[in-house]
Amino acid sequence: MKFSSILSILVLGAGSVVHVTDRNPLSYVPKPEGTYVPQRTPNITTLLDFVKSRSDLATFTKILNRSAGFLEAFDTPPAWDSTLFASSDTALVKHTKQYFNT
């Protein structure tokens, strides 16, 4: 009786934990439809404008384009002083080549 109770709990628990994903674990989640996009403020340089203006951050810009929500976040007017540590193209190729090729 005790064994069958424990076995049934384990089977039910294992069955409820199964999760199927149809997406590569290393890929980025696409942006959902209807995502809020704030208005652009003219004559203000956003973080996205700055990143796009740097030719040595082209790979970083491509990563931002594939990451849901990051373009919108980087394209908002800055509300406070901040520092962005972004890897250059050279550093990304040298240190993350394996990750991007999987």
Does the pLDDT of residue 62 top 60, yes or no?
yes
Residue 24 CA to residue 40 CA, distance in Å, equals 33
| Domain spans in the chain, listed from the N-terminal domain onward | 2-100
3-state helix, strand, coil in the chain (%, to 5): 50, 0, 50
How deeply is 52 buried, as exposed, middle or buried, from its count of CB atoms within 10 A (0-12, 13-18, 19+)?
middle
Query: Can you give the pLDDT at residue 51?
Result: 92
* Residue found by looking up tokens 């439809």 in the block: 33
Does the pLDDT of residue 50 top 70, yes or no?
yes
Does the pLDDT of residue 55 top 90, yes or no?
yes
Position 73 confidence tier, pLDDT thresholds 50, 70, 90: confident
Among 25-29, 40-44, 89-93, which is the least confidently predicted range?
25-29
Tell me the pLDDT of the chain averaged across its residues.
76
Position 58 confidence tier, pLDDT thresholds 50, 70, 90: very high
